[in-house]
Amino acid sequence: MNPVRPGYFYTYVLTSDKTGTFYTGATNNLERRLERHNSGNVYYTKNKLPVRLVYFEACLNKDDAYRRERYLKTGMGKRYLKNRLKGGLTG
pLDDT digits (tens, 9 = 90+) for 66-82: 999 999 999 999 999 99
What separation in angstroms does the CA of 76 have from each of 35, 66, 69, 71? 29, 16, 12, 8
β-bridge pairing 22-27 and 51-59: unpaired
pLDDT given for residue 87 in this prediction: 76
9-74 CATH, one of 1.10.10.60, 3.40.50.1820, 3.40.1440.10, 3.40.190.10: 3.40.1440.10
Convert the pLDDT of each residue in 12-69 to its tens digit.
999 999 999 999 999 999 999 999 999 999 999 999 999 999 999 999 999 999 999 9
DSSP string, 27-59: ES-HHHHHHHHHTT-STTTTTS-SEEEEEEEEE
- Whether a cis peptide bond, with omega within 30° of 0, leads into 50 is yes
- pTM for this prediction: 0.88
pLDDT confidence of 1, banded at 50, 70, 90?
very low
